[in-house]
Amino acid sequence: MRVAITGFGAVTPVGGDAASTWAALVDGRSGVTALDEPWAEPLPVRLAATVGAEALLGLTVREQRRMDRVEQFALLAGREAWRHAGTPETDRDRVAVVVGSAIGGLTSMLEQTERLRDAGPRRVSPHTVTMMMGNGAAAWLSIDVGARAGARAPVSACASGSEAILMARQMILAGDADVVLAGGADACVADLTLAALAQTGALSTRNDDPTAASRPFAAGRDGFVLGEGAAVLVLEREDHARARGVPIHAFLEGAALTSDAFNIVSADPENQARTMSLALRSAGLGPDDISFVHAHATSTPLGDANESRAIVSAVGRTSVTSTKSMVGHLLGASGALGALVATQALRDGRVPGTINADESDPEIEVDVIRRTREGDFQAALVNAFGFGGHNVSLVLTRA
């Protein structure tokens, strides 16, 4: 049995849907901007990749009032993916949703905490709990499409969206569902997260040049840029998709999940390599079959070097890209967006490049794709690694 990708949707800092996001990535346009809001003024890092207000115009006033930003993003991306897949007329007992998030409804938690402090308990929104809860994005999307085969919400830091896609594949192969909406979402650009991440030294401090701040694999990289957004795929059994007569955009041929059991923040590159090798094995492919890797590569000095070594170990000196150079790090949505990008690249024969990477780093031994590259791409590997030692690699093949 093969798992087909029949639809996808996205809300990102460079576009309010998958089509506009893809066009921006292919053109090499950055969504990183300076934060001019008063709350950002005292922060050491005053840049981020945020989603424009126009992206939320598709929501009703009621939806905007009852949902956290992360839930809104997931709902919009999921609805787009569902439409793109032809709005499957499938028994809803055979439809599932799996949407991961690293942080959940943090902005609502911060807003309601401030309201409690300043105005008292009676001013706290009655929707606070459902806006904060980590399963909120999956729950709202399952309600929207009527999915009754499960609404699952993996929380595995920056690997959450990729783990959701892996779990969806497992559900289909196990016969638990015929169609699964799967992906990730995060929306936590706020003073607390920026201050906390800055304290760890993980963020870029290029406040004077935001669009050049995210520079995966480049010499002089100094940290990642916090982003927000969502990406959702529709996965289904190949025979189910064929029977519906809808286009198949790619296949999710294999996937692997491991844990480092090593360090809460530092990764184990040997285990990252093992994850990639296990994913290839599950797909029945070898290193030479991979046309390109969509790397986790966040633009941190150590992280990118470690991943480069892991890729060389598992796949060889293959071609590699990281669209985080344009959208920043979407945390739990990052791996899902990587899978969406890989799907479109395999379908269209174009891989978006890694902007800001012209200054080569001798520690990076892979072939960094710096400009959009055209070719006959047959298979892609998508990596996502998260704090806590969570590792997920997905293998996609051309339809």
As annotated, the active-site residues are: 158, 296, 329
Say how many C-beta atoms besides its own lie within 10 A of residue 360's C-beta.
12
Chain-centroid distance, C-alpha 88:
24
Chain-centroid distance, C-alpha 197:
19
Select from 12, 140, 153 the least CA-distant residue to 64: 140
β-bridge pairing 319-321 and 292-294:
parallel
Outline where DSSP puts E strands in the chain: 3-11, 32-34, 47-49, 95-100, 151-152, 179-186, 229-237, 250-259, 292-294, 319-321, 350-351, 367-368, 373-374, 379-386, 390-398
- H/E element, 25: helix 18-27
Radius of gyration of the chain (CA): 20
Contact 362, 309 (CB under 8 A): no
Select from 375, 321, 322, 368 the least CA-distant residue to 350: 375
- Type of residue at 183: G
Select from 337, 331, 347, 336 the least CA-distant residue to 291: 347
Hunting for tokens 């920043």 — which residue is that?
A: 328
> Looking at residue 332, what DSSP letter applies?
G
